[in-house]
Amino acid sequence: MALIVQKYGGTSVGTLDRIRNVAARMKRTRDEGNQVVAVVSAMSGVTDGLIKMARELSENPSERELDVLLATGEQQSIALVTMALHDLGVDAASITGRQAGIFTTGSHTRGRILNMDPSLMRGFLDEGKTLVVAGFQGVTPDGMIHTLGRGGSDLTAIAVAAALKADVCQILTDVDGVYTCDPRIVKNARKLPEISYDEMLEMASSGSKVMQSRSVEFAKKFGVVFEVRSSLNDNPGTLVLEEHPNMENVVIRGVSIERSQARVTITGIPDEPGMSGRILGALGDAEINLDMIISNIAHDGFARHSFTMHSSDLGKAQAALKPLLNELANSKIETEAGIAKLSAVGIGMRSHSGVAATMFKALGDAGINIGMISTSEIKIAVTVDETRIEDAARAVHDAFDLDKAPA
């Protein structure tokens, strides 16, 4: 008998009919001889409705109280899904974040999981019950309700799977799995049977928004193998797991893109210790998330720094840098919006040479100019003009034969 954790998002439980579908799927998994623990989100729309009320009462509602308010969404879902299971004759019980023993730390609305005490769930499972656990929430060690922020229900599912030593953790979502590239852009993109945690992390940070990075990091840390698959059909999805030797045979696992990027380049910066820290500090204080960061000494002896960020942060970045640049007589700032980032990701890169050359040649042959380049051990990322990003994705996808399953 396997123990299967299934995560259902807000769309999957968005109406009473969909809640019945979730219950039916859980029953099917149980009837196949498994123990089943579902982690569910709030019904879609519920959280937004609660936030709207909060904002009408207070311009800047207290985060502690937002947590108390928003946690009710998942608490409603678990009761309703459990009732639907009862209606199908399944012995089931709902479990709040607190009852699941999810203890958290960090600021309100952005909790991190500190540790887990699954003893209540374990006892219920031993009694033969199917469980429905509230996603997105836990409780601080002193008993305050705490939500886990964006993607919190995925994190709950991974953590519950880890704590219960589940055999499988299924993230049921509105996509079929993880693809070699977004199939809306690259028609012959292929669903990957498996991908390593590190590749998944690079894909996520490069714009493939299947899951938040911290859920993948948590799974990697605790060795939780999980599967991203569709909540609408029974097709196998993509397994996300620790890399194994065979995986290195594939040079590039996938290609991901991120649109609406902008670049800031500042030149004429004295090549002095501490100067990079002041620049990055000013941007960090303004809460701007930088993506690519490239620094160099130009032939004039001054330093030159380039960063990319989401284009919505561009104005804020210029304002944040202004005081510092005003101090520096020779400094100049240059900005460019309307760019996008393309990343090719694969652990095979570590043992194969010529990957960058293949990628750059493919882009060149397609007549696409490369802007900035940044690399990690398992990723090569470039910026291109946003109008060419889809052509670029197709060119790189073709160049590495990603439509063909590896031998």
Sorted by sequence, the CB contacts under 8 Å of residue 264 that are 6+ apart come out as 306, 307, 309, 314, 317, 318, 321, 333, 334, 335
Tell me the window of 52-60, 276-284, 363-371, 397-405 that interacts with its own copies (CB under 8 A). Answer: 52-60
Contact pick of 11, 44, 51, 61 for its own copies (by CB under 8 A): 61
CB of 20 to its own copies, least distance (A): 7
CB of 1 to its own copies, least distance (A): 25
Q: Outline where DSSP puts E strands in 298-396.
A: 303-310, 332-345, 373-376, 379-385
Q: Confirm or reject binding of residue 53 to its own copies (CB under 8 A).
A: yes
CB of 22 to its own copies, least distance (A): 11
Q: Residue 65 burial by CB count (10 A; 0-12/13-18/19+): exposed, middle or buried?
A: middle
* C-alpha–C-alpha distance, residues 360 and 376, integer Å: 16
Tell me the window of 14-22, 216-224, 369-377, 389-397 that interacts with its own copies (CB under 8 A). Answer: 14-22
* C-alpha–C-alpha distance, residues 315 and 306, integer Å: 15
Q: Confirm or reject binding of residue 39 to its own copies (CB under 8 A).
A: no
The first and second tokens of residue 386, run together, are 């946003």
* C-alpha–C-alpha distance, residues 145 and 64, integer Å: 8
Contact pick of 3, 24, 51, 54 for its own copies (by CB under 8 A): 54
CB of 10 to its own copies, least distance (A): 16
Question: Of the two residues 19 and 158, which places its CB atom closer to its own copies in the complex?
Answer: 19
The first and second tokens of residue 297, run together, are 């000494």
Q: Confirm or reject binding of residue 58 to its own copies (CB under 8 A).
A: yes
CB of 37 to its own copies, least distance (A): 16
Q: Confirm or reject binding of residue 50 to its own copies (CB under 8 A).
A: yes
CB of 381 to its own copies, least distance (A): 42
Give the closest residue to 19 by CA, choosing from 41, 3, 34, 50: 41
Contact pick of 57, 329, 357, 407 for its own copies (by CB under 8 A): 57
CB of 212 to its own copies, least distance (A): 25
The first and second tokens of residue 105, run together, are 């730390």
* C-alpha–C-alpha distance, residues 229 and 191, integer Å: 10
Q: Confirm or reject binding of residue 183 to its own copies (CB under 8 A).
A: no
Contact pick of 33, 128, 143, 245 for its own copies (by CB under 8 A): 143
Q: Interaction with its own copies in 251-280: which residues (CB under 8 A)?
A: none
The first and second tokens of residue 4, run together, are 């299967």
Q: How far is CA 193 from CA 134, 229, 255, in A?
A: 29, 11, 15
167 residue type, one letter: D
Tell me the window of 66-74, 103-111, 179-187, 374-382 that interacts with its own copies (CB under 8 A). Answer: 66-74
Q: How many residues bind its own copies (CB under 8 A)?
A: 38
* C-alpha–C-alpha distance, residues 307 and 334, integer Å: 11
Question: Of the two residues 102 and 158, which places its CB atom closer to its own copies in the complex?
Answer: 102
CB of 190 to its own copies, least distance (A): 39
Contact pick of 1, 33, 56, 327 for its own copies (by CB under 8 A): 56
Tell me the window of 12-20, 230-238, 264-272, 320-328 that interacts with its own copies (CB under 8 A). Answer: 12-20
* C-alpha–C-alpha distance, residues 304 and 276, integer Å: 10
Give the other-Cβ count within 10 Å of 24's Cβ: 14
199 residue type, one letter: E
Give the closest residue to 186 by CA, choosing from 255, 259, 251: 255
Q: Which three-class secondary structure state does DSSP give residue 79?
A: helix
CB of 38 to its own copies, least distance (A): 14
Question: Of the two residues 62 and 235, which places its CB atom closer to its own copies in the complex?
Answer: 62
Show the site string, 75-114: x = touches its own copies by CB under 8 A, - = not: xx-xxx-xxx-xx-----xx-x-xx---------------
Terminal alpha carbon distance of the chain: 33
168 residue type, one letter: V
In DSSP terms, which residues pair with 304 in a beta bridge?
296
CB 12 within 8 Å of CB 172: yes
CB of 94 to its own copies, least distance (A): 5
Contact pick of 13, 37, 69, 121 for its own copies (by CB under 8 A): 69
Residues of the shown chain interacting with its own copies in the complex, contacts defined by CB under 8 A: 16, 19-20, 50, 53-54, 56-59, 61-62, 64-66, 68-69, 71-72, 75-76, 78-80, 82-84, 86-87, 93-94, 96, 98-99, 120, 143-145
